[in-house]
Amino acid sequence: MSISPNNGNGENQPQGSPPEKDQLSLDDPTTRHPRISPPEQDQPEPGLDARLEPHADHGEESYTGTGRLKGRKALVTGGDSGIGAAVAIAFAKEGADVAIAYLPAEEEDARDVAATIEAAGRTAVTLPGDLTDLEYRRRLAHDAAEALGGLDILVNNAGKQLSVERLEDLDDEQVRTTFEVNVLAMFTITREALAHLPAGSSIINTTSIQAYSPSPHLLDYASTKAAINNFTKGLAEQLAPRGIRVNAVAPGPIWTPLQVSDGQPKEALPEFGHNTALGRAGQPVELAPAYVFLASPESSYVVGETLNVNGGKPSP
């Protein structure tokens, strides 16, 4: 995954030069990252960040930590690419050791993220496997806790999204696996993680604007996101008395490999994100501060909340 930090003028900095800006720079959000018009492209599922055109910004250079997660231990599913990669990198830069879970086919992306975590001076643990495999997802939190020496942040972020125009063409197998990856795995992983999470821990689920504004071509995916919102609020009530906070982040259109591996109709890619109030798609790094906030003790009175990071799309 190569890095293309933006210099704020819609141009990319040369590789290797020091960042002129980080997430604390004061600038215009309409131009802080470029308004991209990605070419039509297609990758087999799951897509790779390494092959995404243009490359996405995961904060390798553009995110600077301030020690807000010092000594914490996090598991991030789907931490190899996109939003999960940005979250894993930001957590490490904030002082956390991080385990990432991903599909074996994504090893290339996972290695890049692990290298960035290690470059930040933190421990990276890589846990490849398929979340439709019940044994793998039952083991996942235990393996992460064992490798990290504990666990106090769980980010349920892995997701499957396949665009299908007509319900007549949406087969039961796709609906089943989408629910299995997006919803059932969240139940399994979270339940198993509870054996390790002490009071003060944080669980953060990745939902979507699709939970309340479903696209007609994403019926199965959008339904899983509504389920995740509901799960988040109910579980938050259940776990708050135990000192474990549960919240969600609801991204809008973010430039990630999910979108080019049949997540959107190909012809929609050049316009991706242009219909937001900011007029552009978001970059994964722009999601990271929301997860850092919800993971950190600074958000100690925030429970069952959904933080929308969507470029200004109206949300409930």
Handedness of CA 20, 21, 26, 31 (dihedral sign): positive
- The nearer residue to ligand NAD, 103 or 114, going by C-beta atoms, is 103
Q: What are phi and psi of 85, to 5 degrees?
A: -65, -45
Identify the active-site residue in 212, 221, 291, 301. Answer: 221
Confirm or reject binding of residue 278 to ligand NAD (CB under 6 A).
no
Judged by CB under 5 A, which of 4, 81, 182, 229 binds Mg ion?
Answer: 81
User: By rule CB under 5 A, what count of residues binds Mg ion?
Assistant: 4
Q: At closest approach, how far in Å is the CB of 218 from ligand NAD? A: 10
d(CA 58, CA 110): 13
d(CA 40, CA 29): 25
Whether 63 sits among the annotated catalytic residues: the reply is no
β-strand pairing of 202-206 with 97-102? unpaired
User: By rule CB under 6 A, what count of residues binds ligand NAD?
Assistant: 29
Two tokens, residue 268: 């929609």
In the bound state, the residue with its beta carbon closest to ligand NAD is 82
Q: Please, are residues 74 and 295 in contact by the beta-carbon 8 Å criterion?
A: yes
d(CA 87, CA 50): 17
- The nearer residue to ligand NAD, 181 or 197, going by C-beta atoms, is 181
- The nearer residue to ligand NAD, 113 or 239, going by C-beta atoms, is 113
Judged by CB under 6 A, which of 63, 91, 102, 291 binds ligand NAD?
Answer: 102
Stretch that binds ligand NAD, among 23-31, 162-170, 233-241, 253-261 (CB under 6 A): 253-261
Stretch that binds ligand NAD, among 1-9, 101-109, 240-248, 291-299 (CB under 6 A): 101-109
- The nearer residue to Mg ion, 74 or 235, going by C-beta atoms, is 74
Task: Return the half-sphere exposure (C-beta side, CA atoms, 13 A cut-off) of residue 177.
Answer: 12
Judged by CB under 6 A, which of 4, 13, 157, 283 binds ligand NAD?
Answer: 157
Query: Of Mg ion, ligand NAD, none, which one does residue 258 interact with (CB within 5 to 8 Å by kind)?
Result: ligand NAD
Residue type, 239: L
Confirm or reject binding of residue 112 to Mg ion (CB under 5 A).
no
Using DSSP's 3-state secondary structure scheme, residue 127 falls into strand
- Cα 213 to chain center, whole Å? 19
Judged by CB under 6 A, which of 5, 82, 289, 311 binds ligand NAD?
Answer: 82
Q: Which of residues 92-111 bind Mg ion (CB under 5 A)?
A: 106
Confirm or reject binding of residue 311 to ligand NAD (CB under 6 A).
no
Q: Give the C-alpha distances (Å, rounded to integers) separating 168 from 164, 165, 171, 172, 219.
A: 9, 9, 8, 10, 12
Q: Which of residues 50-79 bind ligand NAD (CB under 6 A)?
A: 78
Two tokens, residue 108: 């290339």
Task: Return the half-sphere exposure (C-beta side, CA atoms, 13 A cut-off) of residue 297.
Answer: 10
Confirm or reject binding of residue 215 to ligand NAD (CB under 6 A).
no
d(CA 213, CA 297): 31
The answer for 13, left when phi > 0, alpha when psi is -120 to 50, beta otherwise, is beta
Q: Which of residues 204-263 bind Mg ion (CB under 5 A)?
A: none
Confirm or reject binding of residue 103 to ligand NAD (CB under 6 A).
yes
d(CA 34, CA 272): 12
Applying CB under 6 A, the residues found at the interface with ligand NAD are 46-47, 78, 80-84, 102-103, 106, 130-132, 157-161, 181, 206, 208, 251, 253-254, 256-259
Applying CB under 5 A, the residues found at the interface with Mg ion are 46, 80-81, 106
